[in-house]
Amino acid sequence: MADVKLERTESLSRQEAAQWLAVLSKAFARGGEVTLPMGAATDELHLPERVRAEFEVEVDGDEVQIELEFTWSTAHRVDGRAPSVPVAGERPAPE
């Protein structure tokens, strides 16, 4: 079970969906601390230099589902550096 989970489902226009994705895209490009809109609330996150990404497209009858998932660790090593997260298709960097 997750320590914290924020989830929101709503109907959006293509333009509204594009705006939400643009906010997320700019946050990843900028890195560091970011505030993401979650309806009336917001969620503040720290975006690391490397994340693991998962992309899934599922077609079931007349319904299409696209999932885009980014995962990273909030744990820190003893030396203060965050652990690296391997990207799909890449080998982890030697320690």
Report the percentage of the chain scoring pLDDT > 90. Answer: 29
* Phi/psi at 85 (5° precision): -115, 120
**pLDDT value at residue 40:** 72
Residue 56 has pLDDT above 50, yes or no: yes
Weakest-pLDDT range from 34-38, 63-67, 87-91? 87-91
Residue 24 has pLDDT above 60, yes or no: yes
What is the Cα 56 distance to its own chain's centre?
Answer: 14
Q: Is 85 exposed, middle or buried (0-12, 13-18, 19+ CB in 10 A)?
A: middle
Alpha helices, DSSP H, located in 1-95: 14-30
Residues contacting residue 47 through CB under 8 Å, at least 6 positions apart:
27, 28, 30, 31, 32, 33, 34, 72
Judge if pTM exceeds 0.85.
Answer: no
